[in-house]
Amino acid sequence: MRVGVVGATGYAGTEVLRLCASHPDLEVVVATGESNAGRRVAEHVVALGALYPSLVFAPTQAVFDADLDVVFLALPHGESQKLVPRLMAGGVQVVDLGADFRLKDPADYETWYGAAHLAPQLLDLSVYGLVERHRDELVGASLIAAPGCYPTASALALGPLLDAELIERTGVVVNALSGVSGAGRAPSDRLHFARMTGNAEAYGLLRHRHTPEIEQEIGAQLLFTPHLVPASRGMLVTAYGRATSRSLSTADALGVLRERYAHDPCIVVIDEPPTLKDPVGSNLCLVSARVDARTGWVVAMSSLDNLIKGAAGQAIQAWNVATGRGETTGLPMSGVTP
């Protein structure tokens, strides 16, 4: 399949390039990056030099001029919706790693992103690309909205427990830690090494834009607090919900997770709390849970690589399912240790 990657110079776009090179059915023929147009991929990202020794970044228009089967969009919010209608009108399948087609209600998009949606007619057509919760809907999808990294980690930890009505649907609390690559490639004072190293920072308090996405996916009221930590990659979520029964045990919660994910190759349910580092380098998500009988709280935990299972790997996983391929084709299935 002939592939275009728009926004290929950012961290998520670069990861799409890397993973496509390992996929037997994906051939990248166009990689765009406006500020780097005319520059070789191997110059911009030396780590990709052996995979793409001669590929040159092109302007965005190149995806409309080339004969492509699928385009992966790795753009800031607000940009994909300018391109998707034209791509789809040309019969191109689209996998959007951005936020533009995740929220089903255009009013929610305007509330949380501060602008009216430019292609609301496509929101019902888009399929949320969290394979473990939307596998059947993804089959044959022409527009895939790949979830954000925080919503992925949160929904995979909390979703089965809410589905089984083990925790209440109000007052759910999610605390999440992310490596700084989740903030994107653009430099800023906040991400400066001297400020970030040895530091940790909560941000987006009460109004983080992933809040409505998580609420939409798990069907619960949420208080979400993300944090940046001094790591390049990785994400660790610790979520809390009130148990619906005082007789609920940790064994019950873990049993629900194990049953729910028994046939999901990218989810590993573990007894011990997951760490931020263990899934880094893979398309895996590690999940676990605890029930505190003393306080009546359930603790749901997960960890993943924010650029793979939280972005590029998940996008390819969803595309695999949409096109009838093996779900894990081309995806790394083990973390990097140590």
Write out pLDDT tens, residues 255-270. Answer: 999 999 999 999 999 9
- CA–CA separation, 27 and 50 (whole Å): 15
Q: What is the pLDDT of residue 125?
A: 96
CB count in 10 Å sphere of residue 326: 12
Sorted by sequence, the CB contacts under 8 Å of residue 122 that are 6+ apart come out as 81, 84, 85, 88, 101, 143
Asked about 266 being catalytic, the answer comes back as no
2-146+309-322 CATH: 3.40.50.720
CATH class, range 149-305: alpha beta
Is the pLDDT at 285 greater than 90? The verdict is yes
Q: Structure pTM?
A: 0.96
Domain boundaries defined on the chain: 2-146+309-322, 149-305
> Are 73 and 96 a contacting pair, CB within 8 Å?
yes
What are 136-152's pLDDT values in tens digits?
999 999 999 999 999 99
